[in-house]
Amino acid sequence: MSLALLGQYVMNGVMLGMMYALVAVGFTLFFGVLDIIQFSHGDVLALGAFVALAVWALLVKLGVASPAVQLVAVVVFSALATAAVGALVARFVVLPLKGAPSLNVLLVTLMMGTVLREAIRLFYPGGSQPQRFPALLPTTGYDLGGFNLRLDNLLLLAAGALLIAGTHLFITRTRLGLAIRAVAQDEETARTMGIDFRAVVLFTFGLGSALAAFAGVMDGLYYNEVYFGMGLLLGVIGFASAIIGGLGNLYGAVIGGFLFAALQTIGAVALPFASAYKDVFAFAVVIVLMAVRPTGLIGERASERV
């Protein structure tokens, strides 16, 4: 295998790992505060990507031609819109089911995901077809022995890493982050300490959804295309990544995301008909890992789930 091809496989794996990690962190935050799995999370990601695309189209119509201004606008408005959707889902879909059987939450969030996905398909102009996503980052590159290391890929990776690091610092170093950790550790004790449980839940769902929005924009910028069903596979893989790392563990979610991407890359390199079997290989290894270590690579401790 040539160095250029190996470099491309590695870069693709790292980019996928960053996207999966961002989605997995959202699942971990949701589980931390409410012990539930928000199965519409992947479709919230797709919604974020299409909000970004709509904002870009509006800016073009308004004559705003600066790629930097367009990039900031699509990221900010996408994050704000999906944060609002995440908070609304928590307020009107998830919280009313608090205390209900977990199967109820599973079914309702699955149906909510279908509603979001079909809304994109039906109401976004041409939403049933893949949409071209604009290239808003510089595409200059550096030649490394035949492999072209592109600047836009480096910028996306750096931004994703900063978001994950910022989320970690927010959770561990701020008063609101301390409130989130308190709710995750013991809801009743947190309430007696004066913590507004509902506000913490709404903020946490908004934060996790905003991270998913960035993953959706990142996917669009990397592949230059978005599709209304893109959140289905990304959501499943993000959830699998969170499970691999130990659901409820922030560090484990990141590790799980990159591990799943590494498994896909290994499958693409090592297996025949790679494009067809890499996902099968990755999920098969995850099944084996779960059979061997059901609590994930970093076992969750009830006192440190977020």
Q: pLDDT tens-digit profile of 23-68?
A: 999 999 999 888 888 999 999 999 999 999 999 999 999 999 999 9
Span 76-94, pLDDT tens digits:
999 999 999 999 999 999 9
Half-sphere exposure of 208 (CA within 13 A, CB side): 39
Q: What is the pLDDT of residue 274?
A: 56
- pLDDT higher than threshold 70 for residue 251: yes
Q: Are 249 and 24 in contact (CB under 8 A)?
A: no
Q: What is the pLDDT of residue 36?
A: 87
Span 102-139, pLDDT tens digits:
889 889 999 999 999 999 999 999 999 999 999 999 98
The residue among 48, 53, 46 whose CA lies nearest residue 70 is 53
- pLDDT higher than threshold 70 for residue 305: no
- All domains of the chain, ordered by start, with CATH? 3-304 (1.10.3470)
The total number of residues shown for the chain amounts to 306
The two three-digit tokens of residue 290, written as one number: 């779960």
Residue 143 CB neighbour total at 10 angstroms:
9
The two three-digit tokens of residue 20, written as one number: 């999966």
The two three-digit tokens of residue 138, written as one number: 């510089």
Q: What are phi and psi of 37, to 5 degrees?
A: -110, 120
Using CB atoms within 10 Å of the CB of residue 271, give its burial: 0 to 12 exposed, 13 to 18 middle, 19+ buried.
Answer: middle
Q: Percent of the chain having pLDDT more than 70?
A: 95
